[in-house]
Structure 1
């Protein structure tokens, strides 16, 4: 029953909703505020605010993939993923991958509108809550309303956080003006004050623990602390961030799942590692509650007989999983040797995967490579499973795995749509406990507490060392030489910093975090050009197609459509 409240109100939201798009006058609702002025009505409005976590909404215009709540397409702008297919297919993705950043890009425009739809729906709930006369209510209903206000503020804080980390300079839309033409407000800077205020209110008013919050998918006070800690981390306010993240860790509310793979299966949903997740479901027949935004992530060949063949792991990402004989990574090395792959080798030509080079076992739960089992669907046969591989484009030889369901869970996880769409019903963890540990480790490094950072990084590595590994399809044992070692010490802050950053990449790779990590660390202008050089060692035409990376790109441009519709109220980010 995990989906019982998240995505059931398409019809209702059509009856009562403000305009979902930024700079649009809202529609008049068929249900009045008076009819909704009770805890049941507020819960209906909250359902509408939750439902746009995945970006999909009633009559949503634009790019249905750009709105995706897992931010998969931002990985294409980093060193984790290629767009896949040929250069002309999904041209706007190709432009993003090659640094041809345009203010009219449909992915940027649709994501902007979807996030403001989330702000708007949270404000709709807050508007009703704040106009209820609580003097007429029972004490239990007053308490319930305070919790519901905490949920609305948490969701609004999340949407503002996403807007800020993607676009930087955003507008604050108040409860008072969200239904008026004054909806267009100047985008004068990041929304950090609003984000902190919303998350702090959630901390103070949400149910304390998961035991007090019966509905999976709704936040608790501890969850809100984790998000507030993340907001502080992004502002480099490391001391307070560490305090909050330590409180989350010490709360006992969360733990690393025994198996790394549990984070990407239906059976593992809402488990001990899930801090806050988008609740997806695979319906019978066409799925409206599946992960529509990530439809493009499925292989364009192989066992699915479906679209789409986009979002492929890079050579650089696969290389990063190589370790030394002790199972430790090659920190500080910018040109790690190329791990054996089948680029430009036909499926009917002989190829044996590397079974001797030591690698972290998370490699084969993240990167689909030839000769290795692909999520239970059998051995990945190579080029035949790569869409448009015969064309000399820049997709590379690998397939995504985390976003694709397991063969054993087809019955519960496979949702479908038009033209061969695959709409996975597996939850997406916006935040999981491993992320919390690594954020806390990062804050600990920056405050000089290397012992705490070492402890948290090694907890993540210890789970990787003890997780089940992918087996060879012939039953002969592990599919590769999997080795994970624990760090004996962090000798200095720079070593610790590199260790934390490395761990985030291989633990959270292909989960939509990488671009924003690189940006907040201030390393895009060094890491990304090095990636272009390294990738071109294998995909020779990749580097020549990529335009030079500019610091301007550390913020995505404000969509030109929104600026035009605002009649000059919104201003463009610098450099565009």
Structure 2
């Protein structure tokens, strides 16, 4: 269980391999009490410690793609399902409103963290032959390092497109100089790493190793890489593997269990990042030390002030309208889609249901009033609609489900230790539906969509309801919006499904996306950070940003 999972929690060796892309300095230390090249790679424990360091940049609580302060906050801000509150972090606001440039610090954070993960993974693969260890164990560690490198290149390809490819440790300035490879080559690298990883990783992990990569995680990201590369036959084939033996993935009955600490590593979880009550709760943010905090910061950023949060987002008008457009059958225990009650908070009576409370008895009116001074910042540029369906706040990833006071306060009595689910079986089913539809198998696509609908308490769609590809795709879009809300997916779907920048700009405008009037073709990717251009003499800016 995660409470005893110290693999990532106790990063006692991480600083031996930390410090950026060019990390040669630690090899030159003469102090006998310090870790050096000569004394580090001795046994399996050293490889395990190095692998923990390789995971660290991906699961950093704050400054990474899955960090609350950079990646989760910024990637979600680009979608059409949230409104970002003005007056908070400039980096996030720049990304949310399409006015970022190569000097954006958040973009640099995510970019550099991915290359830290790549470097550390490369270091493991280049040194592991020095370590006396069973051959099968070596293969498994190499596969895990390739998984981490493959996921890193997946993130880079999806967000930057053309970037440097490094498959060896960077141990001098000459080696650091690498040209930006075409986007297609970056996808090939991600796919190659994930293919190599999947057959050598275990199907399940020992409870003490939960949170580490499995075969299912590699297959899911491999299928997602094929899908994003528009190789639909291979994508469908990979997703099919996850629906059959030796895997036993399934949707959990309670959708909300995917966003709390009540049912972690459940049947729906394919890959999740571990958080736990380990380390110094009041320590420096984002540190990599033996006593680094392993708590989850995300509720602090999302929750309303009355729940202890900083409150940086509200659900968009478009998301709310999509949630309320379909009611459940008469006699159901809720009026609307079950996911709405796990994802959002609102005054239930405004939509004809009995009111409830959160955060130890606080009414929605109390929550909204605590957030009011921030919501008024949206006007007049962002027209938050509080009249048509009422007022809404985000519940997903907050501590509201616990109904205790101050639940979102990271420094309070009950800081979050909920794991972050990176890949869920629900996403696999939706991606499988898309691949099957593109491959001409409409019945299979509808069946996968219906599995998602049933869990949400909605009735099945039939071929008569969805008679053509366009209708099926529209339903898939709708379900993915609601199912994957605030899970770092929306922007990629918008880009993939709307290849014309004029078309996407029109959609963003129609859905009242902040900054839609500034959207251009270059915003399909991030710019290569200025720091990379300055330190890597062979790197060039993405063509769209020149």
Instruction: State the shift of 1:156 in Å.
Output: 0.9
1:563 is matched with: 533
How far did residue 225 of structure 1 move?
1.3
Q: 1:43 to 1:315 in 2, by over 3 A?
A: same
- TM-score scaled to structure 1, two decimals? 0.79
Residue 363 (structure 1) aligned with residue 340 (structure 2)? yes
- Identify the residue that residue 194 of structure 2 maps to in structure 1: 199
Number of the residue aligned with 2:104: 105
Shift of 1:175: 2.0
Give yes or no for contact 2:150–2:194 (8 Å, CA) kept in 1.
Answer: yes
Q: Which has the higher helix share?
A: 2
Q: 2:462 aligns with which of 470, 473, 488?
A: 488
2:8 is the counterpart of 1:32: no
Change (3 A) 1:421 1:169: farther
Q: CA-to-partner distance for each residue in 1:311-358, whole Å, 9 max, x for gaps?
A: 22111111111234676xxxxxxxxxxxxxxxxxxxxxxxxxxx9x96
Contact 1:6 1:279 in 2 (8 A): no
Matched, 1:497 2:469: no
Q: Which residue of 2 aligns with 1:550?
A: 520
SS at match of 2:270: strand
SS of aligned partner of 2:398: coil
1:67–1:114 contact (8 Å) kept in structure 2: no
1:126 matched residue in structure 2: 125
Query: Structure 1 residue 508 and structure 2 residue 484: aligned?
Result: yes
Is the CA contact 1:242–1:444 (under 8 Å) kept in the aligned structure 2?
A: yes
SS, match of residue 149 in structure 2:
helix
Counterpart-to-counterpart distance in 2, 1:46 and 1:127: 13
Q: Kindly indicate whether residue 230 of structure 2 is the aligned counterpart of residue 253 of structure 1.
A: no
Normalised by the length of structure 2, the TM-score is 0.84
Structure 1 residues 508 and 492, CA, compared in 2 at 3 Å: closer, same or farther?
same
Q: Is the 8 A contact 2:41 2:127 kept in 1?
A: yes
Unaligned 5+ runs, structure 2: 284-292, 349-354, 385-390
Give the C-alpha shift of residue 405 in structure 1.
2.1
Cα RMSD after superposing both structures = 3.3
Classify 1:391/1:152 alpha carbon distance in 2 versus 1 (closer, same or farther; 3 Å): closer
User: Is the 2:307–2:406 Cα contact (8 Å) retained in structure 1?
Assistant: no
Are residues 1:75 and 2:51 paired?
no
Aligned partner of 2:288 in structure 1 is none
Given that 2:217 and 2:423 are in contact with CA atoms closer than 8 Å, whether structure 1 keeps it comes out as no
Q: Does residue 1:188 correspond to 2:181, yes or no?
A: yes
Aligned partner of 1:19 in structure 2 is 19
Change (3 A) 1:459 1:573: same
State the Cα distance separating 1:90 from its structure 2 match. 1.6
CA separation of 1:374 and 1:108: change in aligned 2, threshold 3 A: farther
1:37-436 to 2 correspondence within 5 Å? 37-55=42-60, 65-68=68-71, 71-84=72-85, 87-132=86-131, 137=133, 141-177=134-170, 181-190=174-183, 191-207=186-202, 209-210=203-204, 215-251=209-245, 252-283=247-278, 285-286=281-282, 288-292=293-297, 295-299=300-304, 301-304=305-308, 306=309, 308-324=310-326, 359-371=336-348, 373=356, 377=360, 378-381=362-365, 382-391=368-377, 393=379, 394=382, 396=384, 397-408=391-402, 416-417=410-411, 424-436=416-428
Unaligned runs of 5+ in 1: 328-354, 466-483, 536-541
Distance 1:561 1:517 in 2: 29
Equivalent residue number for residue 6 of structure 2: 5
Residues in 1 aligned to 2:195 and 2:435: alpha-carbon distance in whole angstroms: 19
